[in-house]
Every structure is written in C-alpha cells, then in structure tokens.
Amino acid sequence: MWNAAEGAMLSIAAKFGCSPHTLREWVQKADRDSGRAPGVPSEVSAKLKAQERENRELRQANEILRKASAYFAQAELDRRFKP
C-alpha cells in the first residue's frame, strides 16, 4: 500500500514529466542544500570535486616535470663525459 507522500510524488512527478525517483532525488538534494537533511551540500561537493581534479592534474604535471628533469640531467651528464 502506498502512503500519502508516495502518492503525492507520483502525482507531482507526472505533472513535471519526470519519474518519481527523479523527483525524490531533487527533493533530497534541496533538503541537503538547505540544511534540513544531513549530508554534503551540492556547492561543497562541487568544490571538493574541482579541488580533487586540480590536485590530480598537478600531481600528473609534477610527475612529468620530475621525469623531464631526470632525462635532461642524464643527457647533460652524457654530453659532459663524451670526448
């Protein structure tokens, strides 16, 4: 048997042209963002993802620079000891 909230979700979702599951996710997201429900707000989550992406890119760049530095240092040593 369905409770009143589920019935309301079905009715409203049909009017919006989406599934009840999608509507439920929107409501939960709005509740988290407003502080009415526990969880990480969307803005904080987006910032965290951006920082994680930037961190990953910086680690990759550092690794490339480390390898390039080692390559050129070795090339310089090889050049110095050739007759």
Span 38-76, pLDDT tens digits: 999 999 999 999 999 999 999 999 999 999 999 999 988
Domain coordinates in residue numbering, the chain: 4-80
Q: Which amino acid is at 44?
A: V
Query: pLDDT of 8-30, one tens digit each?
Result: 888 999 999 999 999 999 999 99
CATH label, 4-80, candidates 1.10.10, 2.60.40, 1.10.3470, 1.20.1540: 1.10.10
3-state SS record for 31-42: HHHHCCCCCCCH
**What's the whole-model pTM score?**
0.63
Q: Which residues contact 38 (CB under 8 A, 6 or more apart)?
A: 32
| Nearest Cα to Cα of residue 9 among 21, 71, 83, 56 | 21
Confidence of residue 79 (pLDDT cuts 50, 70, 90): confident
| Nearest Cα to Cα of residue 72 among 82, 61, 64 | 64
User: Looking at residue 1, what is its pLDDT?
Assistant: 43
User: Looking at residue 82, what is its pLDDT?
Assistant: 65
User: Looking at residue 71, what is its pLDDT?
Assistant: 95
